[in-house]
């Protein structure tokens, strides 16, 4: 059992304790590389993943690994990660994700603007598993995630998982992740801001 540092570490520790699978560190994170999923292009994101995570071959070689991460957004991190672990000698790579599948865009500052970008929007769990190259794939359910927070669901935003947004979005201007930046308030009348032409009016409706 190894985490994807640092975001997967708490969940990996809990998974190891509950399952009895030994916990270890098989990946070293480069602290000077930022969040790869918010980089502006696919090529830069994939390069950043290779620079960010370095496999410890002596720990990985000949092992059947369970790899725990916090989420899958586009699938770039997991795809590159599974490939690196196999290249480092892992016999099997089983991916476990500490959140439900991300299927809806976020308008609250997280950098995924449309459903078309999200790997879970077009594929079922087995399709995602095949896409990232894992031997198996498992997610935490939304109910389990909410229970783990020990907070009532009404106090949490789960829009990227279930499409239920806590702030009503103007139906005539669903244009991407910067939509709310132009609003004066929940019921404000200011026009939404379009970020350099990126996004689409049908961001919530298109596949």
* Res 32 pLDDT > 80: no
Residues 45 and 77 both lie in one domain: yes
- Same domain for 75 and 12, yes or no, is yes
**What is the β-pairing status of strands 64-69 and 92-97?**
parallel
Contact of 96 with 68, CB cutoff 8 Å: yes
The answer to whether residues 24 and 119 belong to one domain is yes
Average pLDDT over residues 3-17: 94
What pLDDT does 126 receive? 97
Helix (H) or strand (E) holding 194: none
Identify whether 138 is part of a domain. Answer: yes
In a domain, 160, yes or no: no
Question: What does the angle CA 125 – CA 123 – CA 136 come to, to the nearest 5 degrees?
Answer: 25
- What is the Cα Rg of the chain in Å? 18
Question: Do both 198 and 132 map to the same domain?
Answer: no
Long-range contacts of 22-27 (CB under 8 A, 24+ apart): 24/59, 25/56, 25/59, 26/2, 26/55, 26/56, 26/59, 26/60, 26/63, 26/65, 26/67, 26/85, 27/2, 27/3, 27/53, 27/54, 27/55, 27/56, 27/81
Condensed to tens digits (0 to 9), the pLDDT of residues 152-205 reads 999 999 999 999 988 877 664 454 555 555 554 444 444 433 334 334 445 455
Backbone φ, ψ for residue 203 (5° rounding):
-55, -35
The answer to whether residues 84 and 8 belong to one domain is yes
Q: Which of 131, 155, 179 is the C-terminal boundary of a domain?
A: 155
Query: Does residue 195 sit in the same domain as residue 133?
Result: no
d(CA 89, CA 80): 15
Look at residue 45 and tell me whether its pLDDT is greater than 70: no
Contact 110, 93 (CB under 8 A): no
Instruction: Give 98's DSSP letter.
Output: S
Residue 161, domain member (yes or no): no
Identify whether residues 53 and 89 lie together within a single domain: yes
Per-residue pLDDT reduced to its tens digit, 117-151? 899 988 999 999 999 999 999 999 999 999 999 99
CB of 21 within 8 A of CB of 15? yes
Report, as an integer, the average pLDDT of 47-59. Answer: 82
Q: Are residues 201 and 138 in the same domain?
A: no
What CATH code is carried by the domain that includes residue 68?
A: 3.40.50.2020
In this structure, are 27 and 73 located in the same domain? yes
Total domains in the fold of the chain: 2
Which range of residues forms the domain containing residue 18?
A: 2-155
pTM: 0.76
Domain co-membership, 186 together with 89 = no
* H or E element that contains 195: none
């Amino acid at each position: 059992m190894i985490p994807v540092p640092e975001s997967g570490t708490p969940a990996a520790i809990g998974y190891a304790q509950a399952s009895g699978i030994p916990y270890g560190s098989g990946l070293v994170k480069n602290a000077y590389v930022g969040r790869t999923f918010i980089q502006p292009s696919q090529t830069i994101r994939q390069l950043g993943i290779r620079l960010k995570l370095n496999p410890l071959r002596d720990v990985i070689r000949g092992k059947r690994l369970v790899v725990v991460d916090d989420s899958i957004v586009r699938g770039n991190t997991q795809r590159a990660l599974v490939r690196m672990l196999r290249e480092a000698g892992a016999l099997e790579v089983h991916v476990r994700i500490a959140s439900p599948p991300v299927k809806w865009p976020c308008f609250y500052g997280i950098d995924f603007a449309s459903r078309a970008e999200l790997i879970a929007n077009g594929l079922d769990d087995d399709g995602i598993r095949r896409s990232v190259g894992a031997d198996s794939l498992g997610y935490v359910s939304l109910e389990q995630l909410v229970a783990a927070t020990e907070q009532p669901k009404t106090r949490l935003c789960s829009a990227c998982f279930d499409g239920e947004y806590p702030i009503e979005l103007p139906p005539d201007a669903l244009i991407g992740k910067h939509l709310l930046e132009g609003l004066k308030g929940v019921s404000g009348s200011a026009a939404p801001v379009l970020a350099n032409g990126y996004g689409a009016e049908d961001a919530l409706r298109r596949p």
